[in-house]
Chains A and B, each alone.
Chain A
Amino acid sequence: MAERKIRVLVAKPGLDGHDRGAKVVARALRDAGMEVIYTGLRQTPEMIAEAALQEDVDVIGISILSGAHMALVPRILELIKANGQEDVKLFLGGIIPDDDIAQLNKMGVTGIYGPGASTEDIVTEIRTAIQKRA
């Protein structure tokens, strides 16, 4: 029987068009043997939740550089919960002020990464989060 592959949705919500970070992470997760569904720029929370549902992902990774994370993240969490996917882990990357991190973690974000984060750490922490769930 085939092992269960970790499936990750990598998405970029909001209006800033800088997706290099998201692409670097997508590539790193690919190299770690995961299946990454890449959705591209300017995704609404609704689009992200819908894609997560259709793709039955284990993890959603979003990249936000615009500062809109305190508006976008709760909405995404709310939608994936409404879809019955409360077991999906949300990881966040981008420019996130320290003051917001604790609050985002409390909302249910599993991992938060700023500039200079190592992709190895991201891979390890995704694997750990999935193992804990199983």
Chain B
Amino acid sequence: MVFMSLSQALLNQDRLALSRLLTHVENNSEEGRKALDELYPHTGKAHLIGITGAPGTGKSTLVNQLALQYSKEGKRVAILAVDPSSPFTGGAVLGDRVRMRDLAGDPNVFIRSMASRGSLGGLAQATASMVQVFDAAGFDLILIETVGAGQAEVDIARLAHTTLVVEAPGLGDDIQAIKAGILEIADILVVNKADRPGVENSERALRGMLDMAHPTQRVFHHHGQRMVVPAQTPKADDPLWIPVIKRTVAKDGVGITDLVEAIEDHITFLREGGEWAARERTQLQTTFETLLRDNLFARFLDELSPEIYEETLSNIMLRKQSPWSAAEALLDRRRA
């Protein structure tokens, strides 16, 4: 047999090679880094869709339905599902596949589970790199399901082209809806489990929040008088995409075609308005800067003698030197 590198095999649609490479990249091995470098020219084609929201809102079930729909349309779909690692043992139970059994045996779909391995932003450190591997392998869509997110796990918005925030009835009131954080990153808000009571209230709270951010013209009667509140004229730097709210019952497949259409609209908006390139730039810049920072730090430590490092650290502990001045002193020393 002719020797073939894993990345060549991946480009030839070898599924085992794809799977092995994902492991290498997840573990940040030498081979993984080399493969990312080789595969880079083949990336940049896939549409990345992020799915986030609180635990139990139905993210996995929704991902299952979206993938089914896309696969029916003949598209190739990769799913990257992140679940939390234990902060104590580093172990994890990754259970997203349980809700995705409809996808078993579908040749268009590839599901990979990953543990967050200590990252706090809702993704794992290697998620962005693993997405690159799927992208190079030619998947049309990559669905990234985050850890069940609370309020501030917003990393996904920097990675995905389109971010879906999944809500369910009964989770929070209108004060939750005006807090900063996860709701702000939504391109599309999904109210899942829409067959449950309280769905009107959830939707009203979300709509109220959106309305504050993007006021529309309103006409109403107040003490018998007709009042008109004009829409604000958008400022030049306002984003033109107003998030939409979609209702779904993911377990029964209700509302999925509608949701897919909304995603389609968002892609059109991104492509036509130049926003696609802007998001890509942000994403690549994040990757690039993270690498620079990590490498700079590693190199800096390499060049520093362990004795000086230890001595500085003990000075800091003895309150002889502050961490701020110590950091500056070490950096100056290197420059000298």
Q: Name A residues whose Cβ lies closer than 8 Å to a Cβ of B.
A: 1-5, 7, 26-27, 29-40, 43-44, 46-47, 50-51, 53-56, 83-85
Q: Which 4 A-B pairs have the closest CB atoms?
A: A30-B91, A40-B98, A56-B19, A47-B104
Of all chain A residues, which has the CB nearest B110? A54
Q: How many angstroms between the C-alpha atoms of A92 and B112 in the bound complex? A: 23
Is A34 touching B22 in the complex (CB atoms < 8 A)?
no
Q: What 0/1 pattern do residues 80 to 93 of B give for CB contact below 8 A with A?
A: 00000110011111
A85 CB contacts on chain B under 8 angstroms: 16
Is A39 touching B97 in the complex (CB atoms < 8 A)?
yes
What's the least CB distance linking A86 to chain B, in Å?
Answer: 11
Identify 18 new A-B residue pairs, CB closer than 8 A, beyond the known A1-B30, A30-B86, A54-B112.
A1-B27, A1-B29, A4-B23, A5-B90, A5-B115, A5-B117, A7-B23, A31-B86, A31-B89, A33-B86, A37-B94, A39-B101, A46-B104, A46-B105, A51-B111, A56-B22, A56-B23, A83-B16
B115 CB contacts on chain A under 8 angstroms: 5, 35
Q: What 0/1 pattern do residues 193 to 222 of B give for CB contact below 8 A with A?
A: 000000000000000000000000000000
Q: How many angstroms between the C-alpha atoms of A43 and B105 in the bound complex? A: 11
Is A35 touching B101 in the complex (CB atoms < 8 A)?
no
Is A2 touching B104 in the complex (CB atoms < 8 A)?
no
What's the least CB distance linking A32 to chain B, in Å?
Answer: 6
Is B98 touching A53 in the complex (CB atoms < 8 A)?
no
A36 CB contacts on chain B under 8 angstroms: 91-94
What's the least CB distance linking B278 to chain A, in Å?
Answer: 32
Q: Is B181 an interface residue (CB 8 A)?
A: no
Q: Say which residue of B92, B104, B110 sits within 8 Å of A30 (CB atoms).
A: B92
Q: Is B273 an interface residue (CB 8 A)?
A: no
Q: How many angstroms between the C-alpha atoms of A30 and B88 in the bound complex? A: 10
B108 CB contacts on chain A under 8 angstroms: none
What's the least CB distance linking A68 to chain B, in Å?
Answer: 19
What's the least CB distance linking A124 to chain B, in Å?
Answer: 15
A26 CB contacts on chain B under 8 angstroms: 93
Is B112 touching A1 in the complex (CB atoms < 8 A)?
no
Q: Is B42 an interface residue (CB 8 A)?
A: no
Is B105 touching A38 in the complex (CB atoms < 8 A)?
no
Q: Say which residue of B27, B91, B101, B112 sits within 8 Å of A2 (CB atoms).
A: B27
Q: How many angstroms between the C-alpha atoms of A14 and B2 in the bound complex? A: 40
| Listed A/B pairs (15) with beta-carbon separation below 8 Å | A4-B23, A29-B91, A30-B92, A35-B85, A35-B92, A37-B113, A38-B93, A39-B98, A43-B104, A44-B104, A53-B16, A54-B111, A54-B112, A55-B19, A83-B16
B23 CB contacts on chain A under 8 angstroms: 4, 7, 56
What's the least CB distance linking A52 to chain B, in Å?
Answer: 9
From A34, A44, A54, A84, residue with most partner B Cβ within 10 Å: A54
* A53-B15 CB under 8 A given contacts A1-B29, A2-B27: yes
* A50-B105 CB under 8 A given contacts A39-B97, A39-B98: yes
Q: Is B20 an interface residue (CB 8 A)?
A: yes
Q: How many angstroms between the C-alpha atoms of A54 and B79 in the bound complex? A: 10
Is A1 touching B28 in the complex (CB atoms < 8 A)?
yes
Of all chain B residues, which has the CB nearest A46? B105
Q: How many angstroms between the C-alpha atoms of A53 and B104 in the bound complex? A: 12
Q: Is B56 an interface residue (CB 8 A)?
A: no
Q: How many angstroms between the C-alpha atoms of A62 and B93 in the bound complex? A: 15
Q: Is B323 an interface residue (CB 8 A)?
A: no
Q: Say which residue of B28, B93, B97 sits within 8 Å of A51 (CB atoms).
A: B97
A31 CB contacts on chain B under 8 angstroms: 86, 89, 91
Q: How many angstroms between the C-alpha atoms of A30 and B92 in the bound complex? A: 5
Of all chain B residues, which has the CB nearest A42? B101
Q: Is B95 an interface residue (CB 8 A)?
A: yes
Of all chain B residues, which has the CB nearest A34? B91
What's the least CB distance linking B26 to chain A, in Å?
Answer: 8
